[in-house]
Amino acid sequence: MARYFIRRVLSLIPTLFVIVTLSFFLIRLAPGGPFAREKAVPEIILQNLLKRYHMDEPLWNQYVRYLGDVVRWDFGPSFRYRDLTVNEMIDSGLPISMLLGVTSLVMAVVSGVAVGIVSALKQNKWPDYVAVSLAVIGISVPLFVLGPILQLFVGLRWKILPMGQWISTHGWKAIILPALTLSFPYFAYIARLSRASILEVLRSDYIRTARAKGLKESVVVWKHVLKGALLPVVTYLGPAFSGIVVGSVVVETVFLIPGIGRPFVQSAINRDYTLIMGEVVVYSVILVVANLLVDIIYGFLDPRISYK
Amino acid sequence: MTDEVILQVKDLKTYFTVDEGVVKAVDGVSFDLHKGETLGIVGESGCGKSVTNLSIINMIPSPPGKIVGGKVLFHDKDLLAMSPSEIRHIRGNKISMIFQDPMTSLNPFLKVSTQMVETIVLHQGLSKAAAKEKAIEMLKLAGIPAPEKRIDQYPHQFSGGMRQRVMIAMSLSCNPEILIADEPTSALDVTIQAQILELIQELTTRLGTAVILITHSLGVVAGTCDTLCVMYAGRVVERGITDEVFAEPKHPYTQGLIHSVPRLDRDNTDRLFSIQGQPPNVIDLPDCCPFYPRCEKAMDICKKKYPKIAHFDQGRAVSCWLYSGGKDE
Ligand SMILES: Nc1ncnc2c1ncn2[C@@H]1O[C@H](COP(=O)(O)OP(=O)(O)O)[C@@H](O)[C@H]1O
Ligand SMILES: [Mg+2]
């Protein structure tokens, strides 16, 4: 187990290396640059800027320098927000985005699994129909539609919850609408997934054995069905977390949340090279670590898997 | 085997409603089981053997299935009329089951100890520790080496044959009066099949358990069963004492089955006999003898009406128009 863990952690290094390298060059390939403006910057100032950010050097040198900085977790100054370093922006935004992401994931898993169980056990009765319809809506309505609808009704018309901004402004109530928006599609998918998987396990041979032993239906469900049936949900946590991280870029923009999502979008538009790269690295680390955690949890839950 | 009847299946009918119509999976099956008897149920795949036995402990998945008629009397109490909690007290306790595929019949996520102990605690009211002792003892009886150690393993750590031994140990752990074994060896390697059958026979004889052994192999029946029921398209077409049925099969279908068993003691120059045609689709069967299209002795009446049961000595019964000469029921 320890050896497996170490091997997996070490294998993250080449993964991240490839991501950093590809992103570095892809961004440079995109037309425009951080100093391209409608109104041209005077040549002499441009030269000075390029020099200050080492952009007058050959691309290869810039790349090697960047790699060295990243290893020291130093993402350099932002091109656009002149008085901030990328590290400062990430340090202030990341906790907010993580709180939003983790809250949404927990909400999605808890409510998704609960609805999945009810829906499977009441198959083809009204609770099942309600759950299935909800799931269809959740999967088909995009975040940038759901968010504004919630803002409009819950925030603006009924004034139950704040329309946007964060805990620092409105207190804990501020997290509810964005987390709801962000978790909804994942709630829907997890509900569908757990429903299907519970129904499949309910038909399996070992559940027939459990019933033939005279166990009560509640024992059959809680002790024999759920563990196996919820494993696919655990597998899905990796992709779900990635999705939530990406989705949070949209939700942070819609709800004006000071996380790392909004600066990410802005940085891409501004060709703020250092900020884009810093965000890409942070997101990649979050995703690969999340996937590693899921694999390890899975190994603990499924006795048939042994890590060597 | 004694004269005491412990289980009477009377005119059992279990139908499934599917998109294409009504599947009469079991349509009027009757038989008796005596204390300590080993009864074989044979027939081609799909003839209703498994459904018959799931019906006995009232475990037909519903929908689509429904037991639409008949009685299953266990010590004169109708299992089909019992409340869910009453029948749960019978399942796994008085009547237990082993299934065909040992690879999928144990819960892969729970240790063998958990699965065995829960049954014993439930039905015998032992403490967990005492139940585990009992479970280890059963595993030992079932021929599992080092049971104290293996009981704490998960099913995937056992081979197919070993898992079936675990199933046997588990199903006999509450000392049931009846063990229903649904093709317990069909999914196993040929070399292991005989061992498993022997184990079932040995343990049930020792514990005095009556057995309903479902199989599609007449060879298995010949070696193990006191009595036998031959099923065809949801009905019992012939039943009787195994030796007598083998010595003188009466129903043309039974005759065909017995002749199509390869035998080492006859000369094998002829081609192996086989029954022509396919078993019928049991959806919306008309009220004729379902075997007549494949029957060499079919008569006009066979196409019009299902034959009455003809009874003979020693519990022999045949559903065939050839025996209208037998006593009518
Ligand atoms: N859950 C079900 N739904 C629909 N039909 C079923 C179901 N279970 C069994 N049947 C039908 O009942 C008939 C008898 O099945 P079964 O008892 O399993 O046969 P076997 O003799 O091979 O054990 C088959 O025609 C099968 O298609
Ligand atoms: Mg079967």
3-class SS of residue A122: coil
Q: Is the pLDDT of residue A228 over 50?
A: yes
Q: What is the pLDDT of residue A115?
A: 94
Q: Which of A279-288, B13-22, B274-283 has the lowest mean pLDDT?
A: B274-283
Q: Is the Cβ–Cβ distance between A215 and B118 less than 8 Å? A: yes
Q: Is the pLDDT of residue A44 over 90?
A: no
Q: For residue A217, how far is its CA from the centre of ligand 2 (angstroms)?
A: 24
Do residue B110 and residue A208 have CB atoms under 8 angstroms apart? no
The ranges assigned to domains in chain B are 5-94+176-328
Half-sphere exposure of A269 (CA within 13 A, CB side): 6
Ligand 1 in reach of B46 Cβ (< 6 A): yes
Do residue B109 and residue A227 have CB atoms under 8 angstroms apart? yes
Chains A–B, number of C-beta pairs less than 8 Å apart: 72
All domains in chain A, ordered by first residue: 15-71 (no CATH), 93-301 (1.10.3720.10)
Distance in angstroms (rounded) separating the CA atoms of residues B60 and A69:
67
Distance in angstroms (rounded) separating the CA atoms of residues B31 and B37:
12
Task: Give chain A's largest Cα–Cα span.
Answer: 86
Closest ligand to Cα B100: 2
Give the model's confidence band at A265: pLDDT under 50 very low, under 70 low, under 90 confident, else very high. confident
Which chain B residue has its CA at the smallest distance from A300's CA? B109
Chain B residues touching residue A205 (CB < 8 angstroms): 99, 101, 104-105
Q: For residue A22, how far is its CA from the centre of ligand 1 (angstroms)?
A: 57
- Give the burial class of A1: count Cβ atoms within 10 A of its Cβ; 0-12 exposed, 13-18 middle, 19 or more buried: exposed
The distance of B107 to chain A (nearest Cα, Å) reads 5
Structure tokens belonging to residue A179: 């987390």
The pLDDT mean for chain A works out to 89
Which chain A residue has its CA at the smallest distance from B118's CA? A215
List C-alpha distances in Å: A208 to A215, A220, B47, B285. 10, 9, 20, 29
Regarding beta strands B210-215 and B38-42, do their DSSP bridges make them parallel or antiparallel, or are they unpaired?
A: parallel
Which chain B residue has its CA at the smallest distance from A303's CA? B109
Atom number in ligand 1 closest to CA B51? 17
Q: What is the pLDDT of residue A109?
A: 95
- Tokens 């490839």 locate to A18
Q: Is the Cβ–Cβ distance between B215 and B183 less than 8 Å? A: yes
Of the residues A209, A222, A306, the best mutation for testing chain B's interface (the one with the most B CB atoms within 10 Å of its CB) is A209
Q: What is the pLDDT of residue B327?
A: 40
Chain A residues touching residue B61 (CB < 8 angstroms): 203
Q: Is the pLDDT of residue B147 over 90?
A: yes
Do residue A214 and residue B101 have CB atoms under 8 angstroms apart? no
Atom number in ligand 1 closest to CA B231? 21
Q: Which of A280-284, B157-161, B180-184, B186-190 has the lowest mean pLDDT?
A: B186-190
Distance in angstroms (rounded) separating the CA atoms of residues B161 and B196:
7
Q: Is the pLDDT of residue B328 over 50?
A: no
Distance in angstroms (rounded) separating the CA atoms of residues B287 and B58:
26
How many whole angstroms from its chain centre is CA A274?
21
Chain B residues touching residue A213 (CB < 8 angstroms): 91-92, 96, 118-119, 122, 170
Q: Is the pLDDT of residue A56 over 60?
A: yes
3-class SS of residue B22: strand
Q: Is the Cβ–Cβ distance between B323 and B250 less than 8 Å? A: yes
Q: Which has more confidence, A33 or A209?
A: A209
Given CB atoms, is A211 within the 8 Å cutoff of chain B?
A: yes
Do residue A205 and residue B105 have CB atoms under 8 angstroms apart? yes
User: What is the helix, strand, coil percentage profile of chain A, to 5?
Assistant: 75, 0, 20
Ligand 1 in reach of B48 Cβ (< 6 A): yes
Best of B50, B59, B237 to mutate for ligand 1, by most ligand atoms within 8 A of CB?
Answer: B50
Percent of chain A with pLDDT over 90: 44
Tell me which architecture the domain covering B5-94+176-328 has in CATH: 3-Layer(aba) Sandwich (3.40)
Q: List the one residue out of B169, B179, B92 whose CA is nearest residue B132.
A: B169
Sheet holding B235-241, edge to edge: B95-98, B178-182, B210-215, B38-42, B227-232, B235-241, B317-319, B309-311, B327-328
A266 Cβ contact list (under 8 Å, min separation 6): A80, A272, A275
Given CB atoms, is A300 within the 8 Å cutoff of chain B?
A: no
Query: Which of B96, B104, B107 lies closest to A210 in CB terms?
Result: B107
Record the pTM: 0.84
Mean pLDDT of B216-235: 89
Q: Which of A149-163, B50-64, B86-100 has the lowest mean pLDDT?
A: A149-163
Mean pLDDT of B233-247: 92
Q: Is the pLDDT of residue B285 over 90?
A: no
Closest ligand to Cα B23: 1
Q: Is the Cβ–Cβ distance between A97 and A260 less than 8 Å? A: yes
Q: What is the pLDDT of residue B326?
A: 41
Q: What is the pLDDT of residue B1?
A: 61
Of the residues B58, B85, B107, B183, the best mutation for testing chain A's interface (the one with the most A CB atoms within 10 Å of its CB) is B107
Do residue B156 and residue A210 have CB atoms under 8 angstroms apart? no
Closest ligand to Cα B290: 1
Ligand 1 atom 6, closest CA:
B16
Q: Is the pLDDT of residue A102 over 80?
A: yes
Q: Which has more confidence, B128 or B301?
A: B128
Q: List the one residue out of B136, B2, B109, B158 whose CA is nearest residue A226.
A: B109
Q: List the one residue out of B37, B1, B3, B93 whose CA is nearest residue B213.
A: B37
Q: Is the Cβ–Cβ distance between B319 and B308 less than 8 Å? A: yes
Which chain B residue has its CA at the smallest distance from A124's CA? B63
Atom number in ligand 1 closest to CA B183? 23
- How many angstroms separate the first and last alpha carbons of chain A? 6
Mean pLDDT of A48-75: 88
